[in-house]
Chain A
Amino acid sequence: MSLPADIKADFPVLRQQFDGTPLIYLDSGNTSQKPQSVIDAMANYYETANANVHRGSYELAVRATAALEGARAKVAKFINAPSTSEVVFTKNATESMNLMARAWGSANLAAGDAVVISEMEHHANIVPWHMLVAETGIELRWIPVDADGQLDLTDLDRLLDGTKLLSVTAMSNVLGTLNDIPRLAAAAHDAGALMAVDASQYVPHLATDVQAMGADFVVFTGHKMLGPMGIGVLWARAEILEAMPPFLGGGEMILNVTKEGFTTAEIPWKFEAGTPMVAEAVGLGAAIDYLSELGMDNVRQHEVELTAYAMHKLTEDHGEKITIHGPVEPSARGGVLSFVYEGESGEVHPHDIAQVLDQAGVCVRAGHHCAKPLMSVLGANATSRASLYVYNDESDIDQLSASLHAADELFSF
Chain B
Amino acid sequence: MPGLEDLYREIILDHYRSPRNRGELETPPAVRVDGFNPLCGDEIIVYIDVADDGTISDVAIGGQGCSISQSSASMMSAAIKGKTVTDARSLISAFKGLMSIHETDIGGDGSEAEMGITDDTFSIDNTDDISLGDLEALKGVVKFPVRIKCATLSWNTLTQALDEAQPV
Do the beta carbons of B65 and A381 come within 8 Å of each other? yes
- Which of the segments A109-117, A176-184, A350-358 contacts the partner chain? A350-358
Known contacts A349-B65, A355-B7; A381/B42 CB under 8 A = yes
* CB–CB A375/B41 < 8 A: yes
Instruction: Report A-chain residues with C-beta under 8 Å of the C-beta of B39.
Output: 367
Name the CB-closest residue of B to A366.
Answer: B40
Q: What is the bound-complex CA distance between A375 and B36, given in angstroms?
A: 15
Shortest CB–CB separation between residue B41 and chain A, in angstroms? 4
Contact check, B66 vs A413: say whether CB atoms are below 8 A apart. no
The answer to whether B40 and A351 have CB atoms under 8 Å apart is yes
* Contact flags B1-34 to A (C-beta < 8 A → 1, else 0): 1011001100001000100000000000000000
B96 touches A (CB below 8 Å): no
* Closest residue on chain A to residue B37 by CB atoms: A367
Among residues 68 to 87 in chain B, which have CB atoms less than 8 Å away from a CB atom of chain A?
Answer: 68
Tell me whether B13 and A367 are in contact (CB under 8 A): no
Closest residue of A by beta carbon distance from B40 = A367
**Set A350, A382, A410: member contacting B8, Cβ < 8 A:** A410
**What A residues does B64 contact at CB under 8 A?**
381
Say yes or no for A275: interface residue by CB 8 A criterion. no
* Chain A positions 10-44 with a Cβ under 8 Å from a chain B Cβ: 18-19
Asked whether any CB of chain B lies closer than 8 Å to the CB of A368, the reply is yes
**When the two chains form the complex, which single residue of A359, A372, A411 contacts B67, counting CB atoms closer than 8 Å?**
A411
For the side of the interface on B, what is the size category? 20 to 34
| Residues of A with C-beta under 8 A to B40 | 350-351, 366-368, 382
A359-B1 in contact (CB<8A): yes
Q: How far is the CA of A345 from the CA of B67 in the complex (A)?
A: 13
Whole-angstrom distance between the alpha carbons of A315 and B68 in the complex? 28
* CB 8 Å contact bits of A36-77 with B (1 = contact, 0 = none): 000000000000000000000000000000000000000000
Q: Which residues of B contact A372 (CB under 8 A)?
A: 41
With A367-B41, A381-B41, A411-B67 in contact, is A351–B17 under 8 Å at CB? no
List A325-377 residues whose CB lies under 8 Å from chain B.
345, 349-352, 355-356, 359, 366-368, 372, 375
Main secondary structure of the interface of A (DSSP, over half): mixed
Known: A345-B17, A349-B67, A350-B66. A381 touches B150 (CB 8 A): no
Cβ B41 vs Cβ A413 within 8 A: no
Q: Which residues of chain B (32-76) have a CB below 8 Å from chain A?
A: 39-43, 64-68
- A356 touches which one: B4, B41, B65, B147 (CB < 8 A)? B4
Q: Are A410 and B4 in contact (CB under 8 A)?
A: yes
In contact, A381 and B17 (Cβ under 8 angstroms): no
* Residue numbers in B under 8 Å from A367 (CB-CB): 39-41
**30 interchain pairs (CB within 8 A)?**
A19-B1, A345-B17, A349-B65, A349-B67, A350-B40, A351-B40, A351-B42, A351-B65, A351-B66, A351-B150, A352-B67, A352-B68, A355-B4, A355-B7, A355-B147, A356-B4, A359-B3, A366-B40, A367-B39, A368-B40, A368-B41, A372-B41, A375-B41, A381-B42, A381-B64, A410-B4, A411-B13, A411-B67, A413-B13, A413-B17
Residue ranges of B at the interface with A (Cβ–Cβ < 8 Å): 1, 3-4, 7-8, 13, 17, 39-43, 64-68, 144, 147, 150
